[in-house]
Amino acid sequence: MALCLVTWSLPHFAVGILPYPQLRLSKSNLCGANLNWVDLREVDFSSADLRRANLSAARLCEADLYSANLSEANLREANLSEVDLRWADLSEANLNWADLSEVDLRRADLTQASLVETDFTNATLEECYIRSM
């Protein structure tokens, strides 16, 4: 499935109204997509290309981001609790004030990611590559 979204945004009032459980966007091309403030709980983004995507304040609880490319993505204040981020590329991503509690980050790449006040409570960080800016 090839889905190309350059600018897909929903107004702030749509938050909480448009949950997409069981939505499958695995292997999708969402480079540069504007998905800020969107409720994307339980969405399958495995192996998706989300480079430079704007996901600030997005709600991604329990989403599947296994092996997703989130390099240079803006995830500021996003809720990623209980997300599968194994093998994900988060290099140079903005994760400031994001909730990554109970996230599985095994073998994820967080090279030069911005991690100001990021919540890693009970996160799995085994073999995760972190090098600060």
Domains of the chain listed by start with CATH number: 22-133 (2.160.20.80)
- pTM for the predicted model, two decimal places: 0.82
Tell me what pLDDT residue 130 has: 84
Q: Are 100 and 78 in contact (CB under 8 A)?
A: no
Instruction: Name the pLDDT band for 129 (thresholds 50, 70, 90).
Output: confident
Instruction: Name the pLDDT band for 8 (thresholds 50, 70, 90).
Output: very low
Q: What is the mean pLDDT of residues 56-75?
A: 97
At 100, which amino acid appears?
L
Q: Are 70 and 89 in contact (CB under 8 A)?
A: yes
Instruction: Name the pLDDT band for 28 (thresholds 50, 70, 90).
Output: very high
- Contact residues for 12 (Cβ-Cβ < 8 A; gap 6+): 37
Tell me what pLDDT residue 132 has: 65
In 3-state terms, the chain is what percent helix, strand and coil (to 5)? 0, 20, 75
Q: What is the mean pLDDT of residues 42-69?
A: 96
Share of the chain above pLDDT 90, in %: 77
Q: Are 49 and 31 in contact (CB under 8 A)?
A: yes
